[in-house]
Amino acid sequence: MKIKAYRTFRETYQELPKSIQKKVDRQLSLLADDFCYPSLHTKKIKGREGIWEARIDLHYRMTFEIIEDTIMLRVVGNHDEVLKNP
């Protein structure tokens, strides 16, 4: 699948520590190959039609939606903050 990012994802990514950015990059490569890869712990967000979350690590998440053959990245950051406004 192709991956594209909304401006909000790019902005929140830039705010992350470099060590977390590296983890995000690794998870994005997995997401591109198989968005249900086990370490991503991908699941739909309850109450948010068409929006998914994937795990970066224990404390960080990213959200995305699938539009045709493209994964559109929405936001990335601390678990609680990301899920307040996915």
pTM of the model: 0.91
| Mean per-residue pLDDT of the chain | 94
Taking only the tens place, the pLDDT of each residue in 7-43 is 999 999 999 999 999 999 999 999 999 988 999 999 9
pLDDT at 47: 86
Helix or strand (DSSP H, E) at 14: helix 7-15
Report residue 58: phi and psi, to 5°: -60, -35
CATH superfamily ID and name for 2-84: RelE-like (3.30.2310.20)
Long-range contacts of 57-60 (CB under 8 A, 24+ apart): 57/20, 57/23, 60/16, 60/20, 60/23, 60/24
